[in-house]
Amino acid sequence: QNATNGYLIRYGSTFVLQVDPSAVLEEKFVKAKIDLSAYTFPGSKYPRMVDAVITDNKLFVAMQRLDGWATQQAYIAVIDLDTNTEIDTNTQQDGLKGIPLNATNTFTLVEHNGQLYAAGRGGYNSDTGGLDKIDASTYAVTSLIDENSFPQLIDFSDDDNSKNDSYYHVLDVAVVSDQLAYAALNIEIGYATIETKLVMINPTTKELTLLSQPDAINGKEISDINIDANERL
- 3-class SS letters over 77-116: EEEECCCCEECCCCCCCCCCCCEECCCCCEEEEEEECCEE
In whole angstroms, give the CA distance from residue 39 to residue 75: 8
Q: Is 29 helix (H, G, I), strand (E, B) or coil?
A: helix
Q: What's at 155, amino acid-wise?
A: D
DSSP secondary structure of 139-203: --EEEEE-TTTHHHH---TTSGGGSTTEEEEEEEEEEEETTEEEEEEEEEETTEEEEEEEEEE-T
Give whole-number Cα distances, 25 to 28, 29, 206, in Å: 5, 7, 48
For residue 226, is pLDDT > 80?
A: yes
> What is the pLDDT at residue 180?
97
> What is the pLDDT at residue 129?
86
In whole angstroms, give the CA distance from residue 63 to residue 139: 16
pLDDT tens figures, 7-53:
999 999 999 999 999 999 999 999 999 999 999 999 899 999 999 99
Compute the average pLDDT of residues 198-225: 91
For residue 157, is pLDDT > 60?
A: no
In whole angstroms, give the CA distance from residue 8 to residue 18: 6
> What is the pLDDT at residue 161?
47
Compute the average pLDDT of residues 185-190: 86
> What is the pLDDT at residue 155?
59
83: Cβ–Cβ under 8 A, 6 or more apart, which residues?
A: none
Residue 10 has phi, psi (to 5 degrees) of -135, 130
**Average pLDDT of every residue of the chain:** 91
**pTM for the structure as a whole:** 0.92
Contact 142, 204 (CB under 8 A): no
Closest by CA to 100, choosing from 72, 79, 121, is 72
